[in-house]
């Protein structure tokens, strides 16, 4: 699991009610090829970065950190840029609907219980508002694509790291190490 994905997984587990989170899973989707001369179909496994589940919902999450680059570009997310293929779960309705259908069949959920989420480490320039707007315009059985920023992820993870109990998770340990070194101040938590 990629490092930012670990932070996202902790944030998903911390939700109320919490989610059981699994790292990348592939979902086979059959689609027609672009061949014009004959009608051909091809099945390909499309990867979902994180899958979270509880008794109420199934979350299929795409996670992009891009901390060492220019960040997430709106045109790519919308399916119009050179990097559009990185966002097929978001911008290709055939793939998106196919993955949702396979996930529902595999795990026993109804389409209205399946949420598509997009977790972003770094947006390019001022693209956050336009990415959020585009994702909000996408209509799925359960509603629009939900977008979470790095700030929202960290806000969910910090209280979990503040608890005194041991958690065997690299993200939590990294925060505890930074606090122990005096480089980070974790929020105070109420004693139980």
pLDDT given for residue 189 in this prediction: 67
Q: Which domains does the chain have, with CATH numbers?
A: 3-30+43-180 (3.40.1350)
In this structure, of 20-34, 67-81, 136-150, 160-174, the range with the lowest mean pLDDT score is 160-174
For residues 168, 174, 122, 45, the Cα torsion angle rounded to the nearest 10 degrees is -30
Partners of residue 149 on adjacent β-strands: 120
The residues, ordered by sequence, that sit 6+ positions from 176 with a Cβ below 8 Å of its Cβ are: 161, 186
Partners of residue 115 on adjacent β-strands: 59
pTM of the model: 0.90
Nearest to 22 by CA among 46, 55, 58: 58
| pLDDT at 192 exceeding the cut of 60 | no
Q: Convert the pLDDT of each residue in 181-191 to its tens digit.
A: 989 888 876 54
- Mean pLDDT, the chain, integer: 92
């Amino acid at each position: 699991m990629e490092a930012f994905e670990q932070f996202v997984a902790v944030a998903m587990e911390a939700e109320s009610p919490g989610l059981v989170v699994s790292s990348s899973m592939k979902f086979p989707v059959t689609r027609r090829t672009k061949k014009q001369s004959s009608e051909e179909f091809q099945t390909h496994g499309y990867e979902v970065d994180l899958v979270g589940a509880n008794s109420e919902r199934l979350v299929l999450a795409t996670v992009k950190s891009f901390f060492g680059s220019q960040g997430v570009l709106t045109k790519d997310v919308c399916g119009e840029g050179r990097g559009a293929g990185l966002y097929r779960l978001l911008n290709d309705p055939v793939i998106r609907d196919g993955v949702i259908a396979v996930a529902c069949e595999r795990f026993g959920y109804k389409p209205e219980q399946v949420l598509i989420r997009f977790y972003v480490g770094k947006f390019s320039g001022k693209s956050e508002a336009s990415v959020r707007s585009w994702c909000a315009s996408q209509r799925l059985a359960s509603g629009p694509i939900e977008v979470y920023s790095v700030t929202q992820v960290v806000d969910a993870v910090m209280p979990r790291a503040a608890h005194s109990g041991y958690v065997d998770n690299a993200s939590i340990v990294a925060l505890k190490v930074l606090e122990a070194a005096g480089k980070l101040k974790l929020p105070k938590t109420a004693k139980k």
